[in-house]
Amino acid sequence: MNSVISYSGIAAKIRCMKRELLTEEDFRKLMDQKLSMQKAEYLGSRRAYAELFQNVGEDMLHRSGVERRLWLSLFRDFDKLYRFGSVKQKRFIRMYFGHYEVKLVKECLQAVLGGHAAGYEFALYEDLIRKYAKIDIMKLSRSRDIGDFIENLKGTSYYSILKRLYDSGQAKAVDYETAIDMRYFVNMWRQKDKVLSREECGIVERTFGSRIDMLNVDWIYRAKKYFDMAPKEIYRLLIPIRYRLSAEEMKKLVEAPTLQEFTAVERETCYGPTVRAYVEQTGSLLEALAKFLRHIYLKEARNHPYSIAPINTYLFLKEQEIARIIYIIESTHYENQSGTSPAEEALS
């Protein structure tokens, strides 16, 4: 009863916000627009994005211009939930921001490695970044080079591992990105036990744990299909946390010599039957993994309507929506350039 009372307000707020998420019909109409500018104009006709896309400018011709506005929409939703939440609910919501913080850290890294500063990219949501991020992202975004970038992370959990890579003199971009991802996932997995109740930990384990398993399967599949990577290289990419996949199953997936044998192993895991059903619907393993993950989050929200589950699920759904919009925009640009569509949709 206490949870019903304490979560009834934010649960009602989330139900209202979910009504503004794009429908399948919206996505079909978005795909029907032939030009990137037209897609931006269509987004401006949807309530959730009306303010951000009502004045379509030249930057809408580029993915980055659209993406910045989409992420502002997400950060604003995050801010609404935080301001609406109780002290207990805010504890989880603030912890969740780590998911966005690591994305921003990696954007700064990519900018530095590309030879430019990333600060201007964050101007639209600088106030929200400063409000919720534990790391000084704006300072990080002004890093001059990789050495400066690492020094600007001093005092954070990322510093020591990145400093060791830098000092080795042999690290590549993928090494830095992988190290950042690994540290984030391990930090989040540990942090949940310190700040959440037993019930809340269970919700995070079932959703975030499944997300980790799906990401590992996704990365193994991509490494084999697109990059022909050796098992030793694949192991370096994997998140060192397992939820429902056993060590033996992971070993078999990584060391499967062909995609056919990888698929045979994947079918025998606990996720196999459900994922295979989605593969039959979509024709793509990567899309199937994304749909399966969506199923897990929605199930948690249904089973635990007066808990952190609806908050967790809404933020996940909004992230998936943004990833899908970006994919559609990018597809249009790619098709206009080459006359063909890109490869399979990424797991978000």
Last residue of a domain, one of 140, 167, 196: 196
pLDDT value at 327 more than 50: yes
Q: Are residues 188 and 203 in the same domain?
A: no
What is the percentage of the chain residues whose pLDDT exceeds 90? 78
Contact 231, 258 (CB under 8 A): no
Number of domains within the chain: 3
Asked if residue 69 belongs to a domain, the reply is: yes
Asked if residue 317 belongs to a domain, the reply is: no
Q: Which residue has the higher pLDDT, 324 or 333?
A: 324
Asked if residue 273 belongs to a domain, the reply is: yes
Q: Amino acid identity of 184?
A: Y
Which contacts of 189-194 are long-range, i.e. CB under 8 A and separated by 24 or more positions?
A: 189/241, 191/95, 191/98, 192/95
Q: Are residues 92 and 45 in the same domain?
A: no
The secondary structure of residue 204, as a DSSP letter, is H
Q: Are residues 127 and 190 in the same domain?
A: yes
Give this prediction's pTM. Answer: 0.90
Asked if residue 316 belongs to a domain, the reply is: no
Q: Amino acid identity of 341?
A: S
Q: Are residues 72 and 6 in the same domain?
A: yes
Q: What is the pLDDT of residues 125-150, one digit of tens each?
A: 999 999 999 999 999 999 999 999 99
* Host domain of residue 214: 199-307
DSSP 218-261: HHHHHHHHHH---HHHHHHHS-S--SSS-HHHHHHHHH-SSHHH
Q: Are residues 49 and 128 in the same domain?
A: no
Say which residue the tokens 């990833």 belong to. Answer: 323
Distance CA 18, CA 48 (A): 10
Confidence bin at 344 (pLDDT 50/70/90): very low
Asked if residue 313 belongs to a domain, the reply is: no
Average pLDDT over residues 85-113: 94
Q: Are residues 130 and 157 in the same domain?
A: yes
Asked if residue 314 belongs to a domain, the reply is: no
Chain-wide mean pLDDT for the chain? Answer: 90
142, 131, 76, 133: which is closest to 104 by C-alpha?
A: 133
Distance CA 101, CA 74 (A): 13
Q: Are residues 89 and 79 in the same domain?
A: no
Question: Given this model, what pLDDT does residue 336 score?
Answer: 52
Question: Given this model, what pLDDT does residue 337 score?
Answer: 53
pLDDT value at 40 more than 80: yes
Q: Are residues 27 and 48 in the same domain?
A: yes
Confidence bin at 59 (pLDDT 50/70/90): low
Q: Are residues 299 and 217 in the same domain?
A: yes
The runs of H, that is alpha helices, within 45-96 are 50-53, 63-84, 87-96
Average pLDDT over residues 61-78: 86
